[in-house]
Amino acid sequence: MADTLVPPPAIWVGREEELDRLRQARRQAQAAGRPVVLSAVHGMGGAGKTALARALAAEVAADYPDGRIEVDLFGFTPGHEPRDPGEVLGELLAQVGFDPADIPAHPQAKVGLWRSWLASRRVLLILDNARDAAQVQPLLPGVGAAGGCLVVVTSRNQLTELDAAARIRVDTLPPQDAAALLVEAAGRSRAEIRATGEELAELARLCGYLPLALRPVGALLARLSAAELIEVMRAADHPLHYLDEADRAARTAFTVSYQALSPALREVLGACAWHPGPDFDAGSLAALTAKPRPLAAVRLAELLQRNMLIGLPHGRYTFHDLFLGYARHHTGYSADDPGVRQARHRLYQHLTATTDTAISTLTTKSTNHTGNAFATPTQARTWLSAATGELTTAAYTALTDHWSQAPTLAHHVARWLRLDDRYEQAAGLYTALHTTAQTTGDQRGQANALQGLGITARLQNEYGRAADYHHQALQIYQDIDDRLGQANAHLGLALLAEGQGQPQSAAQAYQSAATLYTEIGFTEQANQCSTAYQRIKRKA
């Protein structure tokens, strides 16, 4: 009997959910009388796919007395080309006892002989590290393999072409399991390791919860404190930069996956790496690449199938924390590169327009949104909520990149943050706007930012601070003779005074705002302020 199985790793933490899914798929296939259980285990490099396959094999090996075989297909092995399935078939036939002289030379004849041998036997086969479905198909048992073989395929790609009884994604470890793996890899008891629970959690986070990094970093815990490792990892451009073994493993895992991509997908992955983060959707990628949105959506889905990106709800994607740095390295990323700057400016323009449209859809009473990107307020809110991280980060980087329309984007995003009750985030963005305007000598920009800070403070019931901000804004607007700004500042003071139960001050501010709005032709706003003034006077 051929038996080339490799035992699972001695240190095994977590993965019970994934292992249970494999067990269940095997039981269901047996109950249904299916001869082959084909389980495609996929995930990014270093997540533990092979270890999972070996763990299942160790449990069920006794049920497959005719052969237990593991084959490394070199699909993503540094320095090796993916193995030719015909060559692999020759080796498999030799392992199970065929004389070399009896093994046919023609690939299809080898397939026939292999499937004929499997047809009456119970064999467990692990096809590890597959590049694609075409590499795997010739190695699978035939439809008539009534003996009941079990095949487990692992790959960094999803191998959607394979008819799998179970398709299991092996992702990063949950935080608690990742911290436990650090302790196990240290080879010491929890009491012997110089680390608090919080430090272990932070160390696991810096490792991206990826076993490939957790194991070598955990080994360092045998002699170093968690605090020392955390300090070194935080000081680097990317967390593993100064940890040679972990960095080499992570870099290699990314490199071989990157090199397996087509030129078109490499180009798209590079554009994803230009994005300021933390996540993005097809609309943003279309802006970065200047390509149609449907094509961008297809490319993102293809990168997800190859586990080069992580899929998020609402059609959004992100990089694994450890791999963004490597992606930027491989694609020659430089923030000062003219191509990168132009791409980001297109992104900022897209986000500015889309955010403006979404907020308008969300806040206007009209039910006619024909031609709008968002058919309903619910759709607008869903997009804004999902994109909040991207919008906030882009607003800050647009200011840093000195994009000419950055204040407009930042004000749109800050308004959304206010609408979503994220007042601290809104205040932080307004503060950044104020600082930028001070640096460039933009008085109107300073006043607009102060006005936003005033509104945000009022919504947080911080009335003293709100009044200070509005008065500062009003003074600047008066200095530069900006009557619209003055009207808006008076309106802010009116709302503030009314909220504090100061009707006389509120009425005076409403009247000042109404006068200014009338002078500059803002009739609707003037009427609203006049109505508020009359309402307060009637109550008085």
Q: What is the mean pLDDT of residues 287-301?
A: 96
Residue 269 to residue 296: CA distance in whole angstroms: 11
Q: How confident is the model at residue 447 (pLDDT cuts 50, 70, 90)?
A: very high
The more confident residue out of 303 and 5 is: 303
Q: Are 185 and 215 spatial neighbours (Cβ–Cβ below 8 Å)?
A: yes
**Which of 330, 353, 380 delimits the end of a domain?**
330
Looking at residue 147, what is its pLDDT?
Answer: 54
Q: From the CB of residue 185, how many other CB atoms can be counted at a distance below 10 Å? A: 20
Structure tokens at 195: 């680390």
Residue 117 contacts residue 96 (beta carbons within 8 Å): yes
Same domain, yes or no, for 158 and 24?
A: yes
Closest CA to 386 of 299, 293, 278: 278
Count the residues in the chain.
Answer: 540
**Integer Cα distance of 228 and 221 in angstroms:** 10
Predicted TM-score (pTM) of the model is 0.82
| pLDDT given for residue 33 in this prediction | 65
pLDDT at position 465 is 95
What pLDDT does 30 receive? 73
- Residue ending a domain, choose from 200, 220, 252: 252
Q: At 521, is the pLDDT very low, low, confident or very high (cuts 50, 70, 90)? A: very high
pLDDT average, residue stretch 285-303? 96
Would you state the pLDDT for residue 162? 82
**Three-class DSSP labels, 278-304:** CCEEHHHHHHHHCCCHHHHHHHHHHHH
Asked whether residue 347 falls in the same domain as residue 326, the answer is: no
Question: In Å, how far are 39, 484, 525 from 88, measured between CA atoms?
Answer: 20, 76, 77
Boundary-marking domain end, from 136, 169, 202: 169
Distance between CA 302 and CA 267 in Å, rounded? 13
Q: Which tens digits make up the pLDDT trace of 75-104?
A: 888 888 899 999 999 999 999 888 988 899
Same domain? 53 vs 94: yes
Compare 41 and 125 and report the one with higher pLDDT: 125
- The whole-number average pLDDT for the span 471-496 is 95
Contact 108, 117 (CB under 8 A): no
| Higher-confidence position of 468 and 373 | 468
Whole-angstrom distance, CA of residue 282 vs CA of residue 354: 13
Q: Is the pLDDT of residue 6 over 80?
A: no
102/332: higher pLDDT: 102
Cross-sheet strand order for the sheet of 310-312? 280-281, 316-318, 310-312
- Mean pLDDT of the residues in the chain: 90
pLDDT of residue 353: 96
> 108 and 148: one domain?
yes
pLDDT exceeds cutoff 70 at 540:
no
**pLDDT, average across residues 460-476:** 95
User: Is the per-residue pLDDT at 462 higher than 80?
Assistant: yes
Domain range enclosing 116: 2-169
Q: In this structure, what CATH number is given to the domain that contains residue 87?
A: 3.40.50.300
The enclosing H or E element of 317 equals strand 316-318
Q: Is the pLDDT of residue 2 over 80?
A: no
So what's the pLDDT on residue 322?
83
> Which pLDDT score, from 0 to 100, does residue 37 have?
60
Identify the CATH number of the domain in which residue 397 sits: 1.25.40.10
**285: CATH:** 1.10.10.10
Same domain, 193 and 131: no
Q: Which pLDDT score, from 0 to 100, does residue 34 have?
A: 63
Collapsing DSSP to helix, strand or coil, 59 comes out as helix
Q: How many structural domains compose the chain?
A: 4
Mean pLDDT of 425-439: 97
Co-location of 165 and 179 in the same domain? no
Quick one: pLDDT band at residue 189, thresholds 50, 70, 90?
A: confident
Residue 369: pLDDT over 70: no
What 230-233 contacts at long range (C-beta under 8 Å, 24+ apart), as own/partner pairs, is 230/199, 230/202, 230/203, 230/206, 233/203, 233/206
Same-domain status, 382 and 455: yes
Q: Look at residue 304 in the predicted model and tell me its pLDDT.
A: 92
| pLDDT, tens only, 18-76 | 888 888 888 887 777 665 666 677 777 778 888 888 999 999 999 999 889 999 999 88
User: What is the SS3 assignment for 145-184?
Assistant: CCCCEEEEEEECCCCCCCCCCEEEECCCCCHHHHHHHHHH
Where residue 528 falls among pLDDT bands split at 50, 70, 90? very high
Same domain flag for 213 and 138: no
* pLDDT tops 90 at residue 533: no
Pairwise pLDDT comparison (35 vs 320), residue with the higher score: 320
Give SS3 for 224.
Answer: coil
What residues contact residue 277 under an 8 Å CB cut-off, 6+ apart?
318, 319, 324, 389, 390, 393
pLDDT at residue number 321: 80
Q: Are residues 496 and 347 in the same domain?
A: yes
pLDDT surpasses 70 at 467: yes
Residue 285 and residue 224 share a domain? no
119 vs 3, more confident = 119
Reported as a single tens digit per residue, the pLDDT across 202-231 is: 999 999 999 889 999 999 999 999 999 999
- In a shared domain, residues 474 and 439: yes
- Is it the case that residue 436 has pLDDT exceeding 80? yes
Mean pLDDT value across residues 283-289: 97
How far is the C-alpha of 213 from the C-alpha of 482, rounded, in Å? 57
Cα–Cα distance for residue pair 372/361, rounded to 1 Å: 8
**Are 59 and 119 members of one domain?**
yes
